[in-house]
Chain A
Amino acid sequence: GDSVTQMEGPVTLSEEAFLTINCTYTATGYPSLFWYVQYPGEGLQLLLKATKADDKGSNKGFEATYRKETTSFHLEKGSVQVSDSAVYFCASNSGGGADGLTFGKGTHLIIQP
């Protein structure tokens, strides 16, 4: 079955630092890939997505590129803010009639002023 692996946290950065959160996947076929963000006590919010190889998803200064050759979908942001502190989840969906998302374990990001 599908699986998603993302870097362990917590990741602690200073404000305005560059952010990378690694994510790799294994899947049959060509899944769609997603990044979700979860703030304390809340549900998940979609941050960005990509549905085919070489697609770049972007939103709120975050970017991720679907790399089929390395089966990766790393999340990046050029300059993080304290308000970006949250848990970030990478997810895949291979579809095929079973449309449940497969999630990584999440990466807790802490941004210090």
Chain B
Amino acid sequence: NAGVMQNPRHLVRRRGQEARLRCSPMKGHSHVYWYRQLPEEGLKFMVYLQKENIIDESGMPKERFSAEFPKEGPSILRIQQVVRGDSAAYFCASSSTGGLYYEQYFGPGTRLTVT
């Protein structure tokens, strides 16, 4: 049973370009979460999605960041006009059910470097 898959694993973008990060949840999971990990920091929650719905985006920056989880295909985290401060590791997690009792399974992350 494949785990959570993320690609690319490493992404380099110049300032002002767009970054697209992809996440395929574990088989049978319909809940996806995105987190950002800045250097020497813990993970910060960004957004929680179910198929075709954003459930909670309270951790998303108001500008330049968007996320989707279409009916078919992976979840996408999109960062427009990247800046150096966006350099971080972005992790996706999935769960079979929402709610506080259920563990989230994490992918290997995408390490974004903005030059």
Using CB atoms and an 8 Å cutoff, list the residues of chain A in contact with chain B. 4, 31-32, 34, 36, 42-46, 49, 51, 89, 93-106
Contact = CB atoms under 8 A, between A and B. Distances in A.
Interface residues on B, range: 20 to 34
Interface stretch (B11-19, B69-77, B79-87, B100-108): B100-108
Nearest to A30: B100
B56 A99 contact: yes
A88 B45 CA distance: 17
B106 A105 contact: no
B100 A100 contact: no
Contacts of B95: 99
B45 A101 contact: yes
Given A95-B101, A99-B48, 12 more contacts: A36-B106, A43-B4, A43-B106, A43-B107, A49-B103, A51-B100, A51-B101, A95-B99, A98-B58, A101-B45, A102-B45, A103-B35
Nearest to A31: B100
A46 B103 contact: yes
B61 interface: no
Pairs A-B, 8 closest by C-beta atoms: A95-B100, A100-B45, A103-B42, A43-B106, A44-B106, A93-B100, A105-B42, A43-B108
Contact of A99 (B91, B99, B107): B99
B91 to A, nearest CB: 6
B45 to A, nearest CB: 3
A4 B55 CA distance: 23
Contacts of B48: 98-100
A4 B44 CA distance: 12
A25 to B, nearest CB: 13
A43 B93 CA distance: 9
B93 to A, nearest CB: 8
Contacts of B35: 100-101, 103
Given A43-B108, A45-B106, A104-B42, A99 B101 contact: no
